[in-house]
A and B are shown apart, each in its own frame.
Chain A
Amino acid sequence: MKIEDRLSLLNYKIDKSYEHITVNPSICETCPDHFCTFACPAKCYSLIDSKLNFKYEDCVECGTCDTACSHGSVAWTNTKGGHGVKYKFG
């Protein structure tokens, strides 16, 4: 099953006014490994035309990318106001 299809099963309350994770594009540009693209279980990080693309909307708030990125690009905070992923089973 494709990851996109698995993610589509999830409920999110998306916070349009606050991105709880941000990346620093100038760091990502020179990144030798882009390990985030392999580590993130929600495929929030992908390479498009060898440029890193990040979207916070699919994030399941696990925190993996904060450890995965060893170059200091990821700034990780919790979602606020009950926003973000909402599991049915957990």
Chain B
Amino acid sequence: MSEFDVIVVGAGPAGASAAIKLASAKANVLLVDRADPPGSKNVSGGVLWGDSLSQVAPDWEKGPVERYVEAKGVSFLTKDSRISIDFRSKKFGEYKSGYTVLRTKFDAWLAKKAKDSGAMVVSGVTIDKLSMKDGKAIGVEQAGETITADAVIIAEGANSRVAINSGIKKKPSDRHIALGIKEIIKLPEKTITERFGLSSAKMGFASEYVLGFLDGGVKAGGFLYTNKESVSIGAVISMGDLRNNNQTYSFNIIEQFKEHPFIAPLLEGGRVEEYSAHLVPEGGLAVNSIHGNGYMIAGDAAGFTFSNGLVLQGMNYAIVSGIVAADSFLQKKEKGIGAGANFSNYTDNLSKTFVLKDMKNFRGVDAVTWSNSIHQTIPAIAEEAMLNMFSESGEPKEHLAKILFKSLKERKESKKDLAMDLYRMMRRM
């Protein structure tokens, strides 16, 4: 007889959602987080897209959310220019966009929900690895002791030491992670609402950026999200590019972003309140299998993130995978299958959701999002085309196609590469 039905490692959106679901179904569940209070080591951009959380926390929009995204931007930044899509729609009232959240507050609230649902929540305790017996997980090891459970849900995030220590995940390579660096900039609520042209203090702006101007050509994406009384600004840096460059400090990249002529005015008068860094899973599934005998892997630990350059998502994938993991345990339990069950039903169940469908359909999208075309060629050509179109030189005007072709001809990158990237973009984005 195990001490717990399920031990959930990690109190982020995946782990807390799993714990709430399990505890609500009267399972005996332990949710354990290595931070104290739970969630105080968690970081994300962060916009929580969609409404998946309502399955376990119907009142979540009344929880500690910051602003509802009513304006969404995507921009290319070159040294001197910004080329943007700024999408605003009254229809965001009918469609679900997302809420900006601050994870320390938000995750503590979710962990409290888990506790109120009947889960045992323990914080400040570090799990070392799965406890294995005859090829099955029988619980977890903590400081040399085994805590037994019929199942373990690993939801420990992008830096997955339990999975690595248990031999079920490899140490990530440059291809499988990017480095996220973020700052919280304090600004008055009213200033944010006015500066970003928002319709009220409840409404927010979220934008992604391609940072095509960085020193040494290091590739990074940027993000800027409005909270109630602060702005979350950050950069997601390609590890491979940073390594090849080997002379740019990661912590200076976000400063270059903040100092850009079209970003600095948005932050004017703001004060840095917090600096943080976190890994971002990249390049699809992070493990060979998301299930095994007696365990399941959910959220960032499994590599469930989505990024196509226009939007960055992770928390919604985490939530759904956590809930499906919980459901998959309950399925086995109902059938009377006890400790160490093979949770292939988790993979099957998750295959029916957008989580694994997106993973499959968008495999290889990172080759596009980190391509030279996206980061250098397209912004440069677009900048030149715009300057040509929107300025008056007194010369006869040229057709757009000719302008584009001319500026492309002047670029040193191969046209073949651009054509290939455009083809990939059409197929994979």
Contacts and interface: CB of A to CB of B under 8 A. Distances in A.
The binding surface of chain B is classed by DSSP as mixed
Interface stretch (A4-12, A22-30, A47-55): A4-12
B348 interface: no
Interface in A34-82: 35, 37-43, 60-64, 66-68, 76-82
Contacts of A67: 171-174, 177, 239
B325 interface: no
A61 B279 CA distance: 10
B293 interface: no
A88 interface: yes
Nearest to B172: A67
The binding surface of chain A is classed by DSSP as loop
Interface string B101-129: 01111010000000000000001111000
A38 B275 contact: no
A41 B279 CA distance: 11
B34 A82 contact: yes
A7 B34 contact: no
Interface stretch (B39-47, B333-341, B409-417): B39-47
A58 to B, nearest CB: 11
Contacts of B107: 90
A47 to B, nearest CB: 12
B22 interface: no
B179 A38 contact: no
Contact of B275 (A10, A39, A40, A78): A10
A85 B158 CA distance: 16
B246 A38 contact: yes
Contacts of A78: 34, 126, 161
A90 B102 CA distance: 6
A62 B326 CA distance: 27
A63 to B, nearest CB: 3
Max chain A C-beta neighbours (<10 A), residue from B43, B246, B251, B255: B251
B173 A87 contact: no
Contacts of A80: 34, 126, 143
Nearest to B253: A41
A62 B275 contact: no
A3 B251 contact: yes
Contact of B277 (A41, A66, A89): A41
A59 B103 CA distance: 19
B41 A66 contact: no
Contacts of B102: 89-90
Contacts of A9: 272-275
A87 B126 contact: no
Interface in B221-275: 230, 239, 242-243, 245-252, 255, 272-275
B375 interface: no
A1 B277 contact: no
A90 B174 contact: no
Given A39-B242, A64-B279, A89 B272 contact: no
Contacts of B184: 89
B59 to A, nearest CB: 21
Interface string B15-54: 0000000000000000000111001111110000000000
Max chain B C-beta neighbours (<10 A), residue from A39, A60, A68, A84: A39
B70 interface: no
Nearest to B179: A64
Nearest to B161: A78
A41 B126 contact: no
A27 to B, nearest CB: 16
Contacts of B181: 41
Contacts of B35: 82, 86
Nearest to A81: B124
A37 B246 CA distance: 9
A88 B242 contact: no
12 contacts: A1-B255, A3-B249, A38-B242, A38-B247, A38-B250, A39-B250, A40-B250, A62-B278, A64-B239, A64-B277, A66-B171, A87-B274
